[in-house]
């Protein structure tokens, strides 16, 4: 997973303990390595302001406003620089505060890491050092359970064989222990010469250690550690909403420029007559007369400045605030809180909130995501015969790579898992093995330890049995089996092998294969992970031969792996079948329900797993991914062996396409890793029928409601996600997983969700959101995602709408003021419109709106389809909003125009001026856009009431105040008493009311008609919800009752369940041949 | 710990995680179960359906139509008379004045227009002058003033704002009041005479106070050093606006209406919103209840023609109007109210129909699950 930097890592020469290089070496150039300070923060105290400003102005919108601001400063523009400077300052400040806060937290975390103590050996003494002061070449002493401060090369350990076990949980999430070997030369404390970087010898920092003490030399420090390198490559994801937002922005920029151009041209046409250009009452100054050439350009700029508010300056900051604050609702959600872990969901990025409402494809991992990843031995199926039974248990006790860890200290997590059961516990790279060994322990055979290459077992009679471990034939995913060769105390040689049924059965020479196979298949269908166990006895000669074979393979310099595999193939045969085991990995709570809901919501769920097909398929059935009537299409190696891939693909696509013409059939596809890579491989022959398999495959997938991909490598998971992402509809994808092997797909998908599971936090850390259980995905998508989407969609549309309403009257006014760039509104109104008069209601709407109750959203997943494909931000909707804005602006302007046309407004005969005209338009504007939002609000909490009416009130109070006094330090007093005078006039009131109603009318009518004539599902539900409102409490009571009875049922079932399990575990099912 | 330092929230979670490792009690980040945090605040959930909107439409219709009729009737009852005295026509009495206009002429040009009122004007009559094609809302014009000078600021009197260019200084003296607006102040004098049936002309008395906003007259506009009653001395170092015939301190003999607080001046300084506008000139007060303010009959309007508009194709008008509670004649508002009210009513009927036809279907239909 870190292929990127591998090329970067060239060899480096490090002198351990900073010894002076021996004189013999050729010219040694002292390399400068960075110290071990880890810096994840972006800013320092000193560079914060310049750097942050630079970062912020790299954003196109901010830069645009900066330019406008500068233009206002330089040329003579209709509005004061304040009007764009103040909002810009506000936006920049808010963003800077947010980023500064985040960076401060990063600083704190960095400090905690950098200052944690490390033991370093200097001149033969152990010295404590701060982690950040570590140098390349330092010898670091790491004790048990400590984490590595940087990338190290292991020199020696407290174990004689120079090994140590390393957990890489915090790096890649795998809680398994990996064995690392000390560099051969330094096993026994020799402070030695050059250590060249063997890549596989590096232990990466942040892995915790579990052998007592080890000494290691620092290789990569600070920002050069693998860890830090990994993190820098995280790319930024952008949501679909943001993309449409940018598209709209470009449209508006176009509108803005064309408006300015039109006005500039008209201005010059109008001015062609010198009596219009410069009547006697309105002479130009000398300078104004002179600059004729650049005059047109500055006029254009001035119009740009006048209309620039059409690009909503505060939209970005509002969107950012909405996302940031809105994400807290996920964090706070009680339903998504996990009591067991004591943790709730995490939000790592709030940029993608609304994307949760747009998901079309869900890619889920199986183990640990759909299932609990809590393996338990469910069944041992042993072929009859007392001797076989004994051997079976021995085999399971011996054939594994489990390590025993003695528990001296009471440790938080471990105590949680093994509460007081034993003083020691097992660790292994495979949870299945642990489950098996633990299952054996419960059946009376306790694996004690590996001591002096002797495995010690406590059998049922509490007697110690010792087997000498001679060879371990490690597990690999090609052979899908592992073996051990042991020598019993009586001197007999045994080879025990366990592995997948498909890899064991062909090698069995005796034993009732058929019965075991039947049982294994039965178990696999039930979703259990099955393993078969076999053995063979070896004579001494045979053993010697085996040894030779193995050693020659191990020592081979070329093709070692191949030779080893061949050796294994020769050794592992002629087995006698002993039986089979079944390990259960239980489905997570409500996994099936969740998947069903996602299906109903129109999402396609794909399961991507490394497991074998049968097990995975069983899980899919259990989790309702496949239904009983789903027709399964298989695209597996088994089939492609019989037919060519080409034929299979066309066969399947024909099957699937038949569905379109005829009756509806639910299809499910199963594909395995090998076939997938064949499909994705670019075909060599370019003949017509060679074609593009990818397209055919996608076509098949598109018509399948569920797809199961088994035997997947981590990278293949990402490949699949990429493939779907790039398909022609560009669907929004979501990947969910818990392990390190899911990280690649989590990073690849539009939305990555990590599950904080047993396999560590790597997935959670790389994800955009992390949840504790798979079932929480339902609420996350159906409720939170849905809400976020409708909220932000309204936010974006409304922002453009309100700015059209705001600016279009100004544009119209130019036609009546000789295209002189005279602003219609006062400076204060221009400045504050977006940042205070109309900002809070929409922000609050975008935080609080619930168009439908969340219970209904959860109960009725099909509502999710209503917002699919970015439906609220499509072009027609956008055009509707824009036209509505234009209409409203026309109403404001021409309404006021006709009222003002040549008549008196007051009862004392006095006249109003242009500022009253603007204020009238502005008042209607503020009230209309706020009330428009009020009409769109479906969920009126007291906060909504407070903010909507409050912001209107604020506008009135502000206007009263602004016009109420002669403001000192202000060189104009044009607004003095304008607002009050307007309010003292009866016709002004009447026209304000009239114009507000006229501008709201079309939208209301449109809404009502749409709802009545062609209601969407959402709208129907709303009506139903509304009608049943008085029954609401009654219903809620009912739900509560149903819920309670459900709880009792659940408790009852789980009691029975656990009871049954105990029975199964303690009385082994022995399948006797009938 | 190092890895955890990439996001604020993540960090939060991890911190508590490491605290847990330290052997403290079971960690909880359990959120408070408040209604706000769970998004379950009690709320009013209205929706716009035909059923709910119907009554609103009918109510709007029922309220708006009477209001509209009321406004329309009121507007119709307002008497308004308008006469154009620009003098572009050869036949117009003011033709000569408009043609022979010169800024420098010392003898004012006078012309007299005769007109008759068909109906008596019963209540107070407001006399306006109206200008057309005069861009008082031109940007260069609107900003060409110095509000602090007009507010009586001594320093601005000596050194007017740059906005006033090119009407800022004249012959090295600051212009008071400066700026294009003040410079172009309307300076025609209009006098109205009632012509008895027997031919005698009686001048109709005008009131020239109360034509400007009270706040403008008393707060916004002030003469510099208002303690000094001698305005001539106050404005000693200033020049009069270029196009003015007399300096600002000679606008009126009444000290309460002279200088910057001259109401004609204040009225002019309030720039109009549109290029065709009218401004209040004089008020003709009703004398008693017995006789109308302006009885039916013949009148003559005597114009002292000082204000040139021909160059920019402008028009000048004199308007006589009575005023109701809703201001001057404005049929638009009444018509608009009636129209909107009718539309709402009509929509209400349509919606009623729709509601009747589709409403039930919606409510009964089940949502496909």
- pLDDT 10s digits, A50-100: 888 888 887 777 888 888 888 888 887 788 888 788 878 888 888 888 788
The answer for A143, left when phi > 0, alpha when psi is -120 to 50, beta otherwise, is beta
Q: Is the pLDDT of residue A195 over 60?
A: no
pLDDT band at A572 (very low <50, low <70, confident <90, very high): confident
Q: A809-839, pLDDT tens digit by residue?
A: 999 999 999 999 999 999 899 989 988 899 9
pLDDT recorded at residue B16: 36
For A511, the 3-state DSSP assignment is coil
Question: Which pLDDT score is estimated for A424?
Answer: 66
Band (A179; pLDDT cuts 50, 70, 90): low
Is residue A304 within 8 A of residue A260, CB to CB? The reply is: yes
User: What's residue A204's pLDDT?
Assistant: 47
Among chain A residues, CA nearest to B49: A1008
The residue in chain A having the minimum alpha-carbon distance to the alpha carbon of residue B279 is A911
The C-alpha of B327 sits at a distance from chain A's nearest C-alpha, in angstroms, of 5
Confidence band, pLDDT 50/70/90 cuts, at residue A560: confident
Among A331, A850, A986, the residue with its CB nearest the CB of B326 is A986
What are the Cα distances from residue A463, in Å, to A367, A423, A444, A793? Answer: 37, 19, 11, 71
Q: What is the CA radius of gyration of chain A?
A: 36
Q: What pLDDT does A413 receive?
A: 42
d(CA A489, CA A491): 5
Nearest-by-Cβ selection for A902 from B29, B33, B276: B276
Q: What is the pLDDT of residue A447?
A: 84
Q: Is B39 exposed, middle or buried (0-12, 13-18, 19+ CB in 10 A)?
A: buried
Burial class, A1037, CB count within 10 angstroms (exposed 0-12 / middle 13-18 / buried 19+): exposed
Please report the pLDDT score of residue A3 as a whole number. 33
Band (B366; pLDDT cuts 50, 70, 90): very low
Judge whether A186 and A155 are in contact, CB under 8 Å. yes
Considering only residues A185 and A478, tell me which one the structure prediction assigns the higher pLDDT: A478
pLDDT tens-digit map of B170-215: 888 999 899 999 999 999 999 999 999 898 999 999 999 999 999 9
- By the 8 A CB rule, do B231 and B219 touch? no
* Active-site option among A103, A138, A365, A501: A365
The reported pLDDT for the residue numbered A932 is 96
**C-alpha count within 13 angstroms, C-beta hemisphere, residue A998:** 27
Q: Residue A332: pLDDT above 50?
A: yes
Cα A203 from Cα B22, distance rounded (Å): 25
Q: Assign 3-class secondary structure to B215-267.
A: HHHHHHCCCCCCCCCCHHHHCCCCECCCCCCCCHHHCCCCHHHCHHHCHHHHH
The pLDDT tens digits for A640-656 are 777 777 777 777 777 77
Least confident of A334-348, A515-529, A953-967: A515-529
- pLDDT at position A842, please? 95
- Of residues A1073 and A999, the one with the higher pLDDT is A999
User: What is the distance, to the nearest Å, from the Cα of residue A693 to the centroid of all Cα atoms in its chain?
Assistant: 30
Element (H, E) at A424: strand A424-427
H/E stretch holding A321: helix A315-326
Residue with more model confidence, A24 or A145: A145
Closest Cβ opposite residue B49 in set A116, A761, A1011: A1011
The helix, strand and coil proportions of chain A, stated in percent and rounded to the nearest 5, come to: 50, 15, 30
Is the Cβ–Cβ distance between A489 and A467 less than 8 Å? yes
Residue written as token pair 């008549």: A903
Residues in B 36-75 with any Cβ partner in A closer than 8 A? 37-50, 53, 60, 64, 67, 71
Is the Cβ of B161 closer than 8 Å to some Cβ of chain A?
yes
Each residue's pLDDT tens digit, A296-307 = 888 899 999 889
How confident is the model at residue A182, as a pLDDT?
A: 60
Candidates A132, A44, A103; CA nearest to B6 is A103
Q: CB B41 to CB A974 under 8 A?
A: no
User: What does the buried/exposed string (b/e) look like for B89-123 if buried means 16 or more CB atoms within 10 Å of the residue's CB?
Assistant: eeebbbeebbeebeeeeeeebebebebebeeebbe
- Which region among A453-467, A1024-1038, B341-355 has the lowest average model confidence (pLDDT)? A1024-1038
Measured CA to CA, the distance from residue B151 to residue B221 in angstroms comes to 5
Whether the pLDDT of residue B126 is over 60: the answer is yes
Q: Is B171 left (phi over 0), alpha (psi -120 to 50) or beta?
A: left
The pLDDT of residue A399 is: 85
Q: Given this model, what pLDDT does residue A23 score?
A: 56
C-alpha distances (whole Å) from A649 to each of A96, A865, B83, B240 are 55, 30, 90, 96
Distance in angstroms (rounded) separating the CA atoms of residues A19 and A135:
13
Closest CA relative to residue A4, chosen from A303, A235, A207, A208: A235
Q: Is A822 in contact with B137 (Cβ distance < 8 A)?
A: yes
Average pLDDT, chain A: 79
* Predicted pLDDT of residue A699: 83
Contact partners, residue A610, CB within 8 Å, separation at least 6: A367, A710, A711, A712, A713, A741
Contact check, Cβ <8 Å, A977/B215: yes
Query: What percentage of chain B has pLDDT greater than the value 70?
Result: 88
- B338 or B8: which carries more pLDDT confidence? B338
Give every CB contact of residue A81 below 8 A, 6+ residues apart in sequence. Answer: A69, A72, A73
Asked if B270 and A1013 come within 8 Å (Cβ–Cβ), the reply is no
B221 and A CB contact within 8 Å = no
Span A444-473, average pLDDT: 83
Higher pLDDT pick, A88 / A886:
A886
Angle between helices B331-354 and B50-77 (to 10 degrees): 160
In the block, tokens 């800077």 appear at A96
Q: State the pLDDT confidence band at A237, using cuts at 50, 70 and 90.
A: confident
Q: How confident is the model at residue B11 (pLDDT cuts 50, 70, 90)?
A: very low
Residue A365 is among the residues annotated as catalytic for this protein:
yes
Residue A29's pLDDT band, with cuts at 50, 70 and 90, is low
* Low-confidence winner among A13-22, A149-158, A707-716, B243-252 (lowest mean pLDDT): A13-22
**pLDDT band at A9, cuts 50/70/90?**
very low
CB-based contact A1008 B166, cutoff 8 Å: no
| CB spacing of B140 vs A284 below 8 angstroms | yes
Residue A185 has pLDDT above 70, yes or no: no
Cβ pair B54, B348 in contact under 8 A: yes
Residue A489 pLDDT: 84
Could you tell me the pLDDT band of residue A24, with boundaries at 50, 70 and 90? low
Binding residue numbers of A for Mg(2+):
365, 367, 738, 742
Give the pLDDT band (50/70/90) at residue A1033.
very low
Helix H or strand E encompassing A143: strand A139-143
Interface-testing mutation among A107, A228, A279, with chain B (most B C-beta atoms within 10 A) = A279
Question: Range with the lowest mean pLDDT among A228-237, A454-463, A761-770, A1064-1073?
Answer: A1064-1073
Q: Helix H segments across chain B?
A: 8-21, 50-77, 95-99, 139-142, 147-150, 154-158, 180-183, 214-215, 231-234, 263-269, 331-354, 360-364
Distance between B102 CA and the closest CA of chain A, angstroms = 12
B188: its two tokens: 């025609």
**Element holding A886 (H helix, E strand):** helix A875-900
pLDDT of residue A733 exceeding 80, the answer is yes
B30 pLDDT above the threshold of 80: no
Residue A531 has pLDDT above 70, yes or no: yes
β-bridge partners, B131: B277, B316
Task: Compare A184 and A425 and report the one with higher pLDDT.
Answer: A425
In chain B, whose CA is at the least distance from the CA of A102? B8
Check: CB of residue B22 under 8 Å from CB of residue A412: yes
CB contact under 8 A, B326 and A907: yes
Q: Which residue of B has its CA nearest to A821?
A: B139
| DSSP code string of A145-192 | TPBPSSEEEEEEESSTT-EEEEEEHHHH-EEEEEEEE--GGGTT----
Would the pLDDT of B25 be above 50?
A: no
Hunting for tokens 């572009």 — which residue is that? B88
| B276 contacts in chain A (CB < 8 Å) | 901-902
CB-based contact, B196 to chain A, within 8 Å? no
pLDDT of residue B284: 94
Query: Residue B82: what pLDDT?
Result: 93
Between chains, do A909 and B340 touch, taking CB under 8 Å as contact?
Answer: no
Tokens 């406004």 sit at which residue? B71
* pLDDT tens per residue across span B70-103: 999 999 999 999 999 998 888 888 898 888 877 7
More confident residue, A380 or B186: B186
Judged against a pLDDT cut of 80, whether residue A914 lies above it is answered with yes
In the three-class reduction of DSSP (H, G, I as helix; E, B as strand; rest coil), residue A593 is classed as helix
ipTM of the complex: 0.91
Residue A1061's pLDDT is 54
DSSP string, A336-383: T-BTTTTB--EES-STTGGGGGS--EEEEESTTTTEEEEEEEEEEEE-
pLDDT of residue B356: 83
């Amino acid at each position: 997973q870190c292929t990127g930097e591998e090329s970067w890592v060239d060899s480096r020469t490090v002198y351990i303990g900073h010894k002076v290089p021996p004189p013999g070496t050729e010219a040694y150039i002292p390399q400068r390595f960075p110290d071990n300070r880890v810096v994840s923060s972006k800013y320092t105290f000193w560079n914060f302001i310049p750097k942050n400003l630079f970062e912020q102005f790299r954003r196109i919108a901010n830069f645009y406003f900066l330019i406008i601001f500068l233009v206002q400063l330089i040329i003579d523009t209709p509005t004061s620089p304040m009007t764009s400077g103040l909002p810009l300052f506000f936006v920049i400040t808010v963003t800077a505060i947010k980023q500064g806060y985040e960076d401060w937290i990063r600083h704190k975390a960095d400090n905690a890491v950098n200052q944690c103590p490390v033991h370093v050996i200097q001149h033969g003494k152990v010295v404590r050092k701060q982690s950040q002061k570590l140098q390349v070449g330092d010898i670091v002493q790491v004790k048990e359970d400590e984490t590595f401060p940087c990338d190290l090369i292991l020199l020696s350990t407290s174990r004689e064989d120079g090994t140590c076990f390393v957990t890489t949980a915090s790096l890649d999430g795998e809680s398994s222990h990996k064995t690392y070997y000390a560099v051969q030369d330094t096993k026994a404390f020799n402070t030695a010469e050059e250590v060249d970087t063997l890549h596989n010898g590096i232990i990466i920092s942040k892995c915790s250690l579990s052998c007592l003490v080890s000494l290691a030399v620092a290789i990569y420090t600070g920002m050069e550690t693998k860890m830090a390198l990994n993190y820098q490559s995280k790319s930024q994801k952008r949501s679909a909403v943001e993309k449409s937002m940018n598209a709209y922005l470009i449209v508006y920029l176009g509108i803005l420029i064309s408006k300015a151009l039109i006005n500039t041209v008209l201005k010059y046409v109008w001015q062609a007559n010198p009596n219009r250009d410069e009547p006697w009452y309105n002479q130009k100054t000398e300078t104004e007369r002179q600059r004729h050439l650049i005059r047109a350009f500055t006029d254009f700029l001035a119009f740009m400045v006048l209309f620039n508010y059409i690009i909503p300056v505060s939209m970005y900051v509002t969107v950012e605030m909405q996302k940031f604050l809105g994400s807290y609702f996920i964090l706070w959600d009680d339903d998504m809180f996990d009591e067991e872990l004591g943790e709730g969901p995490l939000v790592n990025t709030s940029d993608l909130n609304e994307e949760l409402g747009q998901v079309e494809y869900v890619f889920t991992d199986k183990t640990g995501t759909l299932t609990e990843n809590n393996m338990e031995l469910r069944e041992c199926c042993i072929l009859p015969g007392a001797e076989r039974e004994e051997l079976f248990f021995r085999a399971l006790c011996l054939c594994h790579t489990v390590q025993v860890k003695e528990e001296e200290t009471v440790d938080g997590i471990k105590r949680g898992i093994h509460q007081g059961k034993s003083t020691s516990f097992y660790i292994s790279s495979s949870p299945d093995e642990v489950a098996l060994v633990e299952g054996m322990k419960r059946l009376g055979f306790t694996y004690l330890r590996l001591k002096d290459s002797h495995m010690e077992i406590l059998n049922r009679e509490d007697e110690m049995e010792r087997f000498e471990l001679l060879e371990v034939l490690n597990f690999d995913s090609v052979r899908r089996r592992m073996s051990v060769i042991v020598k019993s105390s009586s001197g007999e040689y045994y080879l025990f092998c366990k592995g997948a049924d498909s890899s064991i059965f062909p090698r069995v020479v005796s034993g009732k294969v058929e019965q075991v196979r039947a049982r294994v298949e039965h178990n696999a269908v039930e979703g259990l992970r099955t393993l078969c166990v076999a053995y063979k006895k070896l004579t001494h000669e045979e053993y010697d031969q085996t040894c030779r074979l193995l050693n020659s393979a191990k020592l081979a310099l070329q093709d070692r792996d191949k030779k080893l595999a061949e050796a294994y193939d020769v050794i592992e045969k002629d087995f006698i079948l002993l039986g089979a085991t079944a390990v259960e990995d239980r489905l997570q709570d409500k996994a099936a329900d969740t998947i069903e809901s996602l299906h109903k919501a129109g999402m396609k769920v794909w399961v991507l797993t490394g497991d074998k097909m049968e097990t995975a398929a069983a899980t899919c059935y259990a989790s309702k991914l496949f239904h009983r009537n789903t027709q399964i299409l298989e695209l597996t190696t088994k089939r492609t062996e019989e037919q060519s891939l080409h034929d299979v693909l066309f066969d399947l696509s024909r099957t699937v396409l038949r569905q379109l013409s005829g009756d509806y059939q639910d299809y499910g596809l199963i594909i395995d890793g090998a076939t997938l890579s064949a499909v994705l491989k670019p075909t060599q022959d370019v003949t017509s029928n060679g074609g593009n398999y990818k397209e055919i495959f996608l076509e098949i997938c598109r018509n399948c409601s569920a797809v199961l991909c088994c035997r997947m490598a981590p990278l293949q998971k990402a490949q699949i996600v990429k493939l779907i992402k790039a398909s022609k509809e560009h669907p929004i994808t979501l990947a969910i997983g818990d392990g390190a092997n899911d990280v690649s797909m989590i990073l690849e998908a539009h939305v990555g969700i990590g599950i904080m599971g047993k396999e560590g936090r790597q997935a959670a850390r790389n994800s955009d959101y992390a949840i504790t259980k798979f079932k929480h995905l339902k609420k996350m998508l159906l409720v939170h995602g849905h809400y976020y989407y409708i909220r932000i969609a309204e936010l974006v549309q409304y922002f453009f709408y309100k700015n059209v309403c705001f600016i279009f009257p100004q544009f119209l006014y130019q036609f009546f003021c000789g295209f002189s760039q005279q602003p219609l509104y006062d400076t204060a109104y221009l400045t504050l419109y977006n940042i205070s008069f109309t900002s809070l209601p929409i922000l609050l709407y975008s935080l609080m709106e619930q168009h439908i109750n969340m219970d209904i959203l959860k109960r009725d997943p099909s509502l999710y389809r209503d917002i699919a494909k970015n439906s609220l931000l499509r072009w027609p909707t956008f055009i509707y909003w824009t036209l509505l804005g234009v209409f409203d602006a026309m109403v404001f302007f021409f309404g006021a125009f006709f009222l003002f046309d040549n008549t008196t407004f007051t009862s004392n005969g006095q006249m109003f001026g242009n500022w009253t005209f603007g204020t009238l338009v502005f008042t209607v504007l503020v009230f209309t856009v706020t009330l428009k939002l009020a009409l769109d609000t479906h969920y009126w909490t007291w906060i909504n009431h407070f903010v909507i009416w409050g912001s209107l009130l604020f506008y009135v109070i502000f206007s009263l105040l602004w016009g109420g006094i002669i403001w000192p330090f202000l060189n104009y007093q044009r607004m003095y008493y304008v607002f009050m005078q307007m309010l003292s006039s009866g016709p002004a009131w009447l026209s304000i009311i009239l114009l507000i109603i006229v501008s709201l009318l079309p939208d209301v009518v449109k809404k009502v008609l749409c709802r009545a004539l062609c209601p969407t599902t959402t709208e129907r539900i709303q009506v139903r919800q509304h009608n049943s409102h008085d029954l609401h409490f009654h219903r809620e009571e009912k739900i509560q009752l149903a819920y309670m009875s459900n709880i009792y049922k659940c408790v009852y079932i789980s009691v029975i369940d656990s009871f049954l399990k105990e029975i199964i575990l303690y009385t082994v099912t022995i399948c006797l041949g009938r | 710990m190092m890895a955890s330092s990439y996001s604020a929230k993540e960090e939060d979670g991890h911190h508590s995680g490491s605290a847990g490792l330290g052997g403290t009690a079971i960690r909880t980040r359990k959120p408070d179960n408040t209604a706000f945090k769970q998004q379950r605040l009690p709320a009013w959930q209205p929706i716009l359906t035909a059923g709910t909107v119907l009554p609103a439409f009918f109510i709007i219709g029922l309220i708006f139509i009477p209001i509209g009729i009321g406004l329309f009737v009121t507007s119709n009852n307002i008497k308004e008379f308008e006469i154009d005295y620009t003098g572009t026509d050869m036949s117009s009495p003011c033709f000569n004045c408009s043609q022979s206009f010169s800024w420098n002429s010392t003898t004012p040009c006078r012309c007299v227009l005769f007109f008759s009122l068909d109906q008596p004007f019963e209540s107070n009559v407001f006399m306006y002058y109206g200008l057309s094609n005069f861009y008082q809302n031109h940007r260069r014009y609107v900003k060409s003033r110095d509000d602090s000078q007009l507010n009586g600021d001594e320093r601005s009197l000596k050194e007017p704002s740059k906005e006033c260019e090119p009407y800022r200084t004249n012959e090295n003296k600051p212009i008071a009041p400066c700026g294009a607006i003040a410079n172009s102040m309307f300076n025609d004098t209009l006098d109205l005479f009632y012509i008895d049936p027997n031919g005698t002309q009686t001048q109709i008395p005008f009131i020239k106070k109360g034509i400007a906003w009270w706040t403008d007259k008393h707060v916004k506009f002030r003469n510099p050093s208002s303690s000094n009653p001698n305005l001539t001395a106050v404005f000693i170092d200033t020049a009069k606006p270029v196009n003015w015939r007399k300096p600002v301190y000679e606008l009126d003999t009444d000290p309460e209406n002279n200088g910057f607080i001259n109401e004609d001046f204040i009225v002019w300084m309030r720039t109009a919103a549109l290029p065709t506008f009218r401004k209040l000139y004089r008020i003709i007060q009703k004398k008693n209840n017995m006789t109308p303010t302006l009885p039916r009959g013949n009148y003559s309007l005597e114009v002292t023609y000082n204000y040139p508009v021909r160059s920019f194709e402008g028009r000048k008008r004199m308007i006589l109007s009575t005023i109701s509670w809703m201001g001057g004649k404005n049929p638009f508002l009444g018509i608009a109210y009636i129209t909107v009210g009718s539309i709402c009513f009509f929509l209400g009927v349509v919606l009623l129909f729709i509601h009747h036809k589709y409403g039930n279907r919606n409510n009964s239909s089940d949502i496909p699950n």
